[in-house]
Structure 1
């Protein structure tokens, strides 16, 4: 399956886009696994493209496995690219930390009309990965 790859420096987000065989105008941003090309992401793409969805897999960056510091602006740039490339309906999916990110992004961007959050946290982890260096009195 042919992929289009994106890097943060050029496009404002890191990911890989795969178009399904059908003429679909629907896409889902899938933030699953640690890299847009890992086994979990490829398995998700295989299933969703068979179901008639275009898929953009995303992660924070190449060999960047931390999903705790993931700017929403990157999702905003991905949405812009998807809309400019024929996708009228946009969904987002994430698991664990990216499940929380999916919920947060959906609350900010009205273009996201489908949200799948698998086992998200019940709080936004502001400062979580900074090792108590954010000045907060409480830390999970």
Structure 2
């Protein structure tokens, strides 16, 4: 695959909350896109919808119909990473279905990867999911502004109820010390509880109605995505999951496992300085693997 990243084109269609019940931007695939297939695109915890749009445009340039979907930080959406309705994705899937897309996939990175897996486990209309740097749990809600702090609620809700979540622990002094040592923002200490989280907080990925691709990094300083992916692989094996599933892990790559596009400002220091070249190669490979994963669905 020849990977190229031109300046993103304008969206082909815009969904508005007033008319459609959601805010989203649709990008039609530029190279032999499959007419009945589309992929919902979810960005990370920075909440920058422009970045999500650029993710969607990059995939569209490589032949995927995509829908960039914000899930917080926009009008009519939660202002914090707390009590985010998974139904936002359900509404997006319905919007695509009404436009003739009968095969609907989902891709998410970081916090968006959590939401992608949760949504796919709850919404049968989603038939394929790719998750970049995911966790295997639903996490505790987080106030984003004016000051970051943990809230006594879940990050996500379903049918008006908090989904069971894994409590986190935020020690700013520990984060600062770890970040200095690792030469990059290091939040892993906040997520130590993920390994021993209660079963009720685990994402029920065995309920997903299609193939699963997990992409993780060995030098992920944000949270333990690779151990989470390994647990998910074991879980799917135990549950005799009926669809294809795999994990691709890149030893010398960081949390933000996406090609370094000149028009995307990374939301955090997620590229390991000591492995910059390896991270760049791994990110490109992960992108190409994702395009293949969704394109193969057409075969």
CA deviations on 1:41-86 (whole Å, 9 max, x unpaired) are: 3442333213321110011253777444321111111101101102
The 1-side partners of 2:134 and 2:80 are apart by 15
Contact 2:24 2:69 in 1 (8 A): yes
Cα separation, partners in 2 of 1:139 and 1:86, compared to 1, 3 Å:
same
- RMSD of aligned Cα (Å): 2.6
Cα separation, partners in 2 of 1:35 and 1:85, compared to 1, 3 Å:
farther
Cα separation, partners in 2 of 1:10 and 1:67, compared to 1, 3 Å:
farther
Q: Which runs of 5+ in 1 are unaligned?
A: none
Report the counterpart of residue 17 of structure 1 in structure 2: 26
Report the counterpart of residue 139 of structure 1 in structure 2: 167
Report the counterpart of residue 128 of structure 1 in structure 2: 141
- TM-score of the aligned structures, taking structure 2 as reference length: 0.40
Report the counterpart of residue 101 of structure 2 in structure 1: 87
How many residues are aligned here?
135
1:92 Cα offset (Å): 0.6
Q: Which has the higher strand share?
A: 1
Structure with the bigger RCO (C-alpha within 8 Å, sep 6+) is 1
CA deviations on 1:75-131 (whole Å, 9 max, x unpaired) are: 111101101102121111111111111000000112211111111123102x42263
106, 117, 127: which is aligned to 1:103?
Answer: 117
Q: Which runs of 5+ in 2 are unaligned?
A: 1-8, 144-149, 154-163, 169-299
Structure having the higher Rg: 2
Cα separation, partners in 2 of 1:5 and 1:96, compared to 1, 3 Å:
same
